């Protein structure tokens, strides 16, 4: 079930089909909920669903959008803790590398946290709650009524996503806080999802742009994971002040590299005005649809 629109489908039909496929994939992942990789996969499917809802927000109406967005946000939230615990441990091991012995206390705290969150996740009703919310969303898919036809149904959401990502890029450059980089990442991921949805419509030039968005999202994602690690060490490793200081140096050095690379790439990917890039993409769409 590729995350793609089909040439023969109207946007309305494509959106409903893709939503059902993603919900089905997420529910399938929940049945393997004891495996961390499965939980991560479910969260990825939910992110795709949230992106689709935002893409057609102007078409489906405020009420339908808010209900769907709230359910998906809560479903993702119920799966966050075990994911964050596992990712913090991984990013720490990658960052510390061969020098992990210097951070024995932090490593012990991270492993304990990962075990605790995993056990808590298996014992509580997080999986069942996520399943209920996804099934509720599935029942609402028929409410996704899209009146506009063709590119007119897609362009407003795509343009808004690009515009907000462009603004977030500038803000992160001018005010480089963890919050601003994380907010930028959300818009980058949405735009990447939209380019994946419309991949068959794009020529090689635009497909390279899709790869650029994926790379940018990776930089920003790692930056946020490092921020979570830094917060964890500050809150849970107070008796290991020397380790925390040394780890912060590594984190800040890596974040400096990631943010410089992200801003350089972002300035290229968001160089055009929203109207200009959407006009060109609309021409690609019309050509693909034979208009």
In the predicted model, is pLDDT for residue 124 greater than 90? no
How confident is the model at residue 205, as a pLDDT?
A: 84
In the predicted model, is pLDDT for residue 171 greater than 80? yes
CA dihedral 59, 60, 63, 66 (to 10 degrees): -90
Q: Within 10 Å of residue 246's Cβ, how many Cβ atoms?
A: 16
State what percent of residues in the chain have pLDDT above 90.
78
| Average pLDDT over every residue of 3-15 | 92
- Average pLDDT of the chain is 93
| Average pLDDT over every residue of 244-261 | 97
DSSP symbol at 4: -
Which residue, chain included where needed, has tokens 């913090």? 88
How confident is the model at residue 127, as a pLDDT?
A: 86
Measured CA angle at 87 (ends 84, 91), to 5 deg: 135
How confident is the model at residue 240, as a pLDDT?
A: 93
- The answer to which of 69-83, 119-133, 166-180 has the lowest mean pLDDT is 119-133
In the predicted model, is pLDDT for residue 254 greater than 70? yes
In the predicted model, is pLDDT for residue 69 greater than 70? yes
In the predicted model, is pLDDT for residue 230 greater than 80? yes
| Average pLDDT over every residue of 223-236 | 97
The C-alpha atoms of residue 112 and residue 82 are separated, in whole angstroms, by: 12
How confident is the model at residue 34, as a pLDDT?
A: 66
- The answer to which of 114-118, 160-164, 209-213 has the lowest mean pLDDT is 114-118
Q: Which comes out higher in pLDDT, residue 27 or 142?
A: 27
Measured CA angle at 133 (ends 127, 135), to 5 deg: 100
In the predicted model, is pLDDT for residue 249 greater than 80? yes
State what percent of residues in the chain have pLDDT above 70.
99
Joined together, the tokens standing for residue 50 give 């949230």
For the stretch 181-207, pLDDT in tens is 999 999 999 999 999 999 888 998 888
Confidence band of 209 (pLDDT split at 50, 70, 90)? very high
Confidence band of 40 (pLDDT split at 50, 70, 90)? confident
Across 141-168, b (16+ Cβ under 10 Å) vs e yields beebebebeebebbbbbbbbbbbbbbeb
In the predicted model, is pLDDT for residue 36 greater than 80? no
Termini Cα distance of the chain: 27
How confident is the model at residue 121, as a pLDDT?
A: 84
């Amino acid at each position: 079930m590729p995350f793609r629109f089909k040439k023969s489908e109207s946007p309305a039909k494509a959106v409903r089909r893709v939503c059902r496929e993603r919900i089905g994939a997420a529910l399938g992942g929940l049945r393997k909920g004891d495996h961390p990789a499965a939980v991560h996969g479910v969260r990825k499917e939910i992110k795709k669903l949230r992106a689709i809802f935002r893409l057609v927000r102007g078409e489906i109406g405020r009420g339908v959008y808010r209900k769907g967005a709230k359910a998906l946000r809560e479903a993702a939230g119920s799966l966050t803790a075990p994911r964050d615990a596992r990712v913090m441990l991984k990013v720490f091991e990658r960052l510390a590398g061969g020098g992990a012995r210097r951070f024995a206390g932090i490593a012990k705290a991270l492993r304990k946290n990962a075990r605790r969150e995993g056990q808590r996740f298996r014992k509580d009703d997080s999986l069942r709650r996520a399943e209920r919310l996804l099934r509720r969303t599935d029942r609402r898919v028929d409410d996704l009524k899209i009146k506009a036809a063709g590119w007119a149904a897609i362009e407003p959401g795509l343009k808004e996503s690009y515009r907000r990502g462009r603004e977030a890029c500038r803000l992160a450059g001018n005010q480089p806080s963890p919050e601003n980089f994380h907010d930028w990442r959300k818009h980058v991921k949405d735009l990447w999802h939209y380019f994946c949805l419309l991949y068959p419509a794009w020529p090689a030039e635009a497909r390279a742009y899709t790869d650029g968005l994926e790379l940018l999202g990776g930089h920003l994602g790692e930056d946020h994971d490092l921020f979570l690690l830094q917060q964890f060490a500050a809150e849970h490793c107070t008796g290991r002040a020397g380790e925390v200081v040394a780890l912060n140096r590594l984190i800040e050095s890596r974040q400096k590299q990631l943010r410089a690379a992200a801003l350089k790439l972002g300035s290229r990917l968001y160089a055009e005005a929203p109207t200009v890039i959407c006009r060109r993409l609309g021409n690609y769409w019309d050509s693909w649809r034979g208009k």
